[in-house]
Structure 1
Amino acid sequence: MSTQPIRNLRSRRSGGHSLYFAVSGLTVLAIFGLWWIASYFEWVNPLFLPSPTEVWSAFMDIVQNGYKGSTLIGHIEASMRRILIAMVLVFVTAVPLGIICGRSRIVRAIFDPIIEFYRPLPPLAYYSLLVLWFGIEDMSKIILLFLSGFAPMFIAVVYSVRRIPPDRINGARSLGAKGFRLYAFVVFPSCLPDLLTGFRTAVGVTYATLVAAEMVAAISGIGWMSLDASKYLRSDIIYAVIIIMGIIAILIDSGIRLFIRRLSPWIEH
């Protein structure tokens, strides 16, 4: 069998990826160029738009001296620890519950009203309650991150399970699969691509809630750094922290996308 069509496909994909990264790189350069021009000619008050040089100086100062008694790595580690714990809890609860709800209308009827009620609420709307119930330590922050990521993950799993072809389930049952084996070897693998895509979405939502989670009684974390710098009108630090957060988000999302491609290479992500 000739491998020429496969090689042509890989060549087209490689060329498409190269063009994609080239255009993305030019877009980033254009944004930084416009930023530099706007700050140089002071089109915007420097208090609100510091120059790239000032932001770089603030970043280097944080790298060398830390911020408010903790190193930059320490702040990043604090935030990543909270997100990691929250996402582990999201995965071990939303996945099995979503699979059960996807297979059972009765169970889904129990949980749907609860999730659909709190899902559209802004995190700050109920964060004060979490602080009252669980205190001002990391517990309330982790629970807030957990709740923000649980709903999109749960919905993705339920949707994926419900779209599994009935013939696949019936065929597995005719071959003797039932109970735990049916869920572990048929249902779970069938919804795995959608599950991982839902996990990617949940991570993004949770990461976006990070600043809200670190607003109350926090003394560490990259979200808290941005909030604390705003109290002193240190826009250079705010911009530096935002860029750091954006780079971390891109790295996390790229890692998840790579993992998804390894598990389901036939799907474009």
Structure 2
Amino acid sequence: MTVSHETASTRAPEEGAHGAAPLPAVPQFRLPGAGSSRPISVACIAALLGLWWLSTARGWVPPLFLPAPEAIKNAFLNAWSGNIQGGQSLLVHLQWSALRVFGAFLLAVVTAVPIGIAMGASRIARGIFDPPIEFYRPLPPLAYLPLIVIWFGIDETSKVILIYLACFAPIALAAKAGVRSASIEQINAALSLGASRWQLITHVIVPAALPDILVGLRIAIGFGWTTLVAAEMVAATVGLGQMVLNASNFLRTDIVVMGILVIGLVAWSFDLLMRWVEARLVPWRGRF
């Protein structure tokens, strides 16, 4: 009886611990800064627009330096109907600029992604492509614009090449950095299953590098629109950058601001599209 009593007394806490007391809930981990920032962004934009309207309505800033929102709206309507210098409508300017930027961007994607992956996977490719990319990457487009004009003339080819070079470097370097995201365990597991080098690249390295590649695409398209004004300085008669430059010669600040807003909205819309694509293709990014 004594032994059974001791056995029961020693088992009672264990049974009570496992049966009666539930385990505490494990708190879910969230990254710092997680959550939607859309309300903050909307409030910030509304505050900036309100400050813009107030400063122009009160006359704190001369219209030559900052036109009123009403003047920007009138400039947009006039540009849409073609009632500005040059006689081309805003839609025509937008079409030509989009053709140059997105055409050069697609060419950069087709060439820079394979080269970047090759640079990350092969020391020979890294030794060949890394020095010229790192050399020209910090250079502003205006620095090598005269050389491109001498080599390729003043037609559309020089404009596309200038934007292409601006987009190429960030995409290639992003793809190169993304290759290193593939862990050695994933690579060894694929090799142990008999994967060839091409299968290793397509099924392991490229999916691991995809998040960094998408970030590089977002950065590259921003560089493309930034280089647009420099590209359209080369004997262009139509385009958003040319429209802004032409308006600045006549001190039409309203058209200049309107053109800047249009370029920014188009680039922002494409960035939102890339974020949507990133959320669909790499939903695991930033999650544990």
Question: Of the candidates 160, 170, 195, which is equivalent to residue 178 of structure 2?
Answer: 160
Cα distance in structure 2, aligned partners of 1:143 and 1:160:
25
- The residue number in structure 2 matching 1:256 is 274
Any unmatched runs of 5+ in structure 1? 1-7, 10-14
In structure 2, give the amino acid aligned to 1:151.
A
Deviating above 3 A after TM superposition, structure 1's stretches of 4 or more consecutive aligned residues are: none
Give the paired residue count. 256
- The residue number in structure 1 matching 2:51 is 34
Q: Does 1:24 align with 2:35?
A: no
Q: Which moved more, 1:234-243 or 1:101-110?
A: 101-110
Cα distance in structure 1, aligned partners of 2:182 and 2:39:
39
Question: Of the candidates 203, 220, 232, which is equivalent to residue 238 of structure 2?
Answer: 220
**What do residues 86-144 of structure 1 show as CA deviations (whole Å, max 9, x unaligned)?**
11111111111111110112221221111111000010000111011111111111111
In structure 1, give the amino acid aligned to 2:90.
L
Structure with greater proportional helix content: 1
Instruction: From the superposition, tell whether residues 21 and 114 of structure 1 become closer, same or farther in structure 2 (CA, over 3 Å).
Output: same
The structural deviation recorded for 1:27 is: 1.4
Cα distance in structure 2, aligned partners of 1:143 and 1:66:
31
Superposition TM-score, scaled by structure 2 size: 0.84
Instruction: From the superposition, tell whether residues 100 and 16 of structure 1 become closer, same or farther in structure 2 (CA, over 3 Å).
Output: closer
The structural deviation recorded for 1:208 is: 1.3
**What do residues 50-80 of structure 1 show as CA deviations (whole Å, max 9, x unaligned)?**
1111111111111123542322111111111
Q: Secondary structure at 1:265's aligned position in 2?
A: coil
Q: Secondary structure at 1:209's aligned position in 2?
A: helix
Identical-pair percentage: 45
Larger Rg: 2
Instruction: From the superposition, tell whether residues 120 and 248 of structure 1 become closer, same or farther in structure 2 (CA, over 3 Å).
Output: same
- The residue number in structure 2 matching 1:196 is 214
The structural deviation recorded for 1:215 is: 1.1
Answer whether contact 2:182 2:204 (CA < 8 A) is retained: no
CA RMSD of aligned residues (A): 2.0
Answer whether contact 2:221 2:267 (CA < 8 A) is retained: no
Question: Of the candidates 103, 111, 117, which is equivalent to residue 99 of structure 1?
Answer: 117
